[in-house]
Amino acid sequence: MRWTFGEEPLDETERYAAAVRRVTSLALRLEAPAVALAGLTDVLERAEAELQQLVPPDPRPRVGAAADADGRVYLDHSRDIGAFNPAFPVYELVVDGDRASGTVNFPLLYEGPPGLVHGGFLAVFFDAVIQHHNCDVGTAGKTTRLEVRYAAPTPLLTDLGVEVERATSGGRIESMARLHAGDRLCATATMRAVAGDRSALPAVSPRRPT
């Protein structure tokens, strides 16, 4: 049984995240000022003002003791966060019990050194993909440690492979993940977590009619 916590994103939010990721990568490649980008920024600033009138004024999530308060809806972060939040990478993952494998391709907006993925984004990626694995298996919990080791530079715009393995013992979860470009190991991660109790999850307020 999949572990979920929060509401699903809106279709409009997913479309927006994908477009922002693509446009940001293009904007970072510009050699000179562009009328199209200036115009897009004007549109975004107008949209910002309009959207501000549509969202709850309190930015805190409606979770737990605040579930009946005037905060915002909390979106499920158990898997595929990049689908609705362009700050997170998009990847594919196939889960097979305590093992999982998939692919990821980092676009330009995740660049650190020239042509390479910023190491901080690799940590975010490992955190997200391991959490996805745990939630799909049905046993997840609070992370107590995440250790990332960098074996070789990770290239941008390249199909990369990832493998994840997990083991549970005494209410603890330990996961190991490897990211590679072909036969070259790029980075590894070890995550330890305390298995949570699904029945003890705090209340999450659903979306409210407008």
What confidence tens digit (pLDDT) does each residue in 168-179 have?
999 999 999 999
161 confidence band (pLDDT: 50, 70, 90):
very high
Neighbour-count burial for 2-29, b at 16+ CB within 10 Å, e otherwise: ebbbbeebeeeebebbeeebebebeeee
Instruction: Report, as an integer, the average pLDDT of 8-31.
Output: 97
Token pair of 47 as six digits: 């949209």
**What architecture (CATH level 2) is domain 11-200?**
Roll (3.10)
* Residue 103 predicted with pLDDT over 90: yes
pTM for the whole thing?
Answer: 0.94
The pLDDT of 85-95, averaged and rounded, is 97
In the predicted structure, residue 9 carries a pLDDT above the cut 90: yes
Domain-by-domain residue ranges, the chain? 11-200
Model confidence at 210: pLDDT above 80: no
